[in-house]
Amino acid sequence: MNEIDQIRINFSSGELFTLDIALAIIMFGVALDIQSVDFKRLLQQPKIVLTGILSQFILMPALTFLIVIIAKPAPSIALGLIMVGACPGGNVSNYMSKLAKANPALSVSLTAFATLISVVMTPFNFEFWGSMYAPTRQLLKEVSLDPFALAKLVSLILGVPLVAGMLVRHYLPVWAEKIGKLLKPLSFLFFLILLVLAFHQNWDIFNKHIHYVFWIVVIHNLLAYVLGFQTARIFKLEFRERKTLAIETGIQNSGLGLLLIFGFFQGLGGMALLAAFWGVWDILSGLLLAFYWGMRENKELAKIQKRTDL
């Protein structure tokens, strides 16, 4: 085994529980914007739904496996990459869709739909693609991973808060509006603080080993954006929907990946290091991409306005 496969990221059970709660609260906050009509609207647009599922849960894990085969990283890094690739889109994608002048309503609906599907698809994709590569197959055998336990944890962290948030939205819409405005930014900030603390407590490990994961995360993330955009383009979706699918595919819920890694793999070095860096990097890259698309949209609107005035 490589050196990176033998290190462990230090994260106490109390800190892990706090991370669980933070992620659940973020999902609850997102769900406060979701109504049952959003699912009906999605089902009335089957092409968008199928494109989203294809991009996030079929092509993204397959792309991840291809990168693993080509790059041949250390086994724990490869398994971490497969874990991130198997996770649903990250909740912060909704905010980035707004910045990018994409389709925020579609983003929220797809996040909800992907969250429900992830209860089954995340454990399946992780187990399936992880067992397809010999070095990661060996790691899976060593921990005796139970896919049902994995699905149970995903349900508790994402599924239950999603349903609870939607119920609050349905029965207490005024309160949902008030709570959501405060809860979403605070919970996301709290989650970022936890990630920063995790980096701080393990700074020596990150500083010494970050070069193992830096470029593979950057390339993986970049290709994920391209994959989402081009998949939507192939299915002839509008430009706003293309941007939305790109962001939904490129912003993975690496926070969920981290929790699963600490819960089932005891913070296995390369896995935790990769997922933690993924969580920081995709926020940075997502904001850059969203600001670029947003500014480009503003310039186009300004040109149209100028022509209209003339």
Which pLDDT band, with edges at 50, 70 and 90, does 245 fall under? very high
Which pLDDT band, with edges at 50, 70 and 90, does 27 fall under? confident
For residue 97, the number of C-alpha atoms closer than 13 Å in the C-beta half-sphere is 29
Domain 3-309: give its CATH code. Answer: 1.20.1530.20
Buried b / exposed e over 17-44, threshold 16 CB at 10 Å, is: ebbbbbbbbbbbbbbbbbbeebbeebee
Residue 154: Cβ within 10 Å count:
23
Strand partners, 268: 8
More confident of the two residues 230 and 36: 230
Domain ranges of the chain: 3-309
pLDDT at 124: 92
CA dihedral 123, 129, 130, 134 (to 10 degrees): 160
Strand partners, 89: 252
Whether 248 and 90 have beta carbons less than 8 Å apart is answered as no
57 DSSP assignment = I
One-letter-per-residue 3-state SS of 106-171: HHHHHHHHHHHHHHHHHHHHHHHHHHCCHHHHHHHHHHCCCHHHHHHHHHHHHHHHHHHHHHHHHH
Which of 17-21, 136-140, 213-217, 276-280 is modeled with the greatest confidence? 213-217
The structure tokens 């600001």 sit at: 291
Which pLDDT band, with edges at 50, 70 and 90, does 9 fall under? low
Task: Please state at what angle helix 134-143 crosses helix 104-131, rounded to 10 degrees.
Answer: 90
Tokens of 138: 């060996």
Tokens of 308: 């209209």
Q: Is 74 left (phi over 0), alpha (psi -120 to 50) or beta?
A: beta
Give one DSSP letter per residue of 196-213, joined into a string: HHHHHHTHHHHHHHGGGT
- Report the sign of the C-alpha dihedral through residues 112, 114, 117, 118, in that order: negative
Whether 7 and 215 have beta carbons less than 8 Å apart is answered as no
The pTM of the full predicted model, rounded to 2 decimals, is 0.85
Whether 89 and 270 have beta carbons less than 8 Å apart is answered as no
pLDDT at 309: 58
Distances (CA, A) of 288 to 54, 149, 282, 300: 25, 37, 10, 18
Give the pLDDT confidence of 192-210 residue by residue, as tens digits. 776 676 666 667 777 787 8
